[in-house]
Amino acid sequence: MRIVSWNVNGLRACVRKGFLDFLEASGADIVCLQEVRAFAHQLEPRVLAPNGWHANFSPAQRPGYSGVGIYSRRAPTRIETSLGDERFDAEGRMIIAHFGRKAVASVYFPKGSGRDRDNSRVPYKLDFYASVIDRLQTLRRRGPVFVAGDYNTAHAEIDLARPKQNTRTSGFLPEERAELSRWIEAGWVDTFRARHPGEPGHYTWWRQWGGARENNVGWRIDYVLASKSAARRVKDAFIWPEVTGSDHCPVGVDVAW
């Protein structure tokens, strides 16, 4: 079983750049999307219901903003999209597909920078982190849980090309990194780093100017975290920087389902 996660930076735009070809070529059984930025009625039938796939989405209330989705080869037994807090639910940032006792979440964690780049959204971002982990801590008591998505935080210096220049930038603030540490300390496993410890240069997002991607000046902010019981099933974890179509690249895991 292969689980892939990708912030597509607008699904309709990504479709024009070959998303459906990627979907078929990925070898994935579950594909988690973030930043879909579309309502279901705005998606073409071939995107809304590709042959051989079950598709579920949770859009934001605001048009052209945020939104998450999950494509799966097998129909989920249940779909969950609410954290029970209108502040978060209105932005369409989480969807959980249940497959019996197993669960896969696609989560788009907020940026903390705010419209004026003044880090004004950091409190909202940290509140969202806390709300999500509270839900998942309960969920993992039932069975294995994978949490795939754009976490919008680089955890350690190894996870971005220029850590010293970004200590005051949202995405690498001490309080944001501490929140990810809290997840790890609570038993959630960073599946990629568990298999590639100490390896620099692995990034999942690059700025769209200044040759950042070509020069690999990036950030690793997309993860698949796994509960302990889920982590034991992981056979491989990967990042696919060669896949284009977004300013992010896909990440994923191969698991014994």
Q: Decide the pairing of beta strands 189-190 and 68-72.
A: unpaired
Beta bridge partners of 79: 97
Q: Provide the CATH number for the domain formed by 2-255 in this structure.
A: 3.60.10.10
Q: Are 26 and 5 in contact (CB under 8 A)?
A: no
116 is catalytic: no
Among the residues of 17-173, which ranges form H helices?
Answer: 19-25, 45-48, 86-89, 122-139
pTM for the complete prediction? 0.97
pLDDT (tens, 9 = 90+) of the chain, 257 residues, equals 999 999 999 999 999 999 999 999 999 999 999 999 999 999 999 999 999 999 999 999 999 999 999 999 999 999 999 999 999 999 999 999 999 999 999 999 999 998 888 999 999 999 999 999 999 999 999 999 999 999 999 999 999 999 999 999 999 999 999 999 999 999 999 999 999 999 999 999 999 999 999 999 999 999 999 999 999 999 999 999 999 999 999 999 999 98
Catalytic residue among 150, 159, 190, 222: 150
Q: Where are the domains of the chain?
A: 2-255
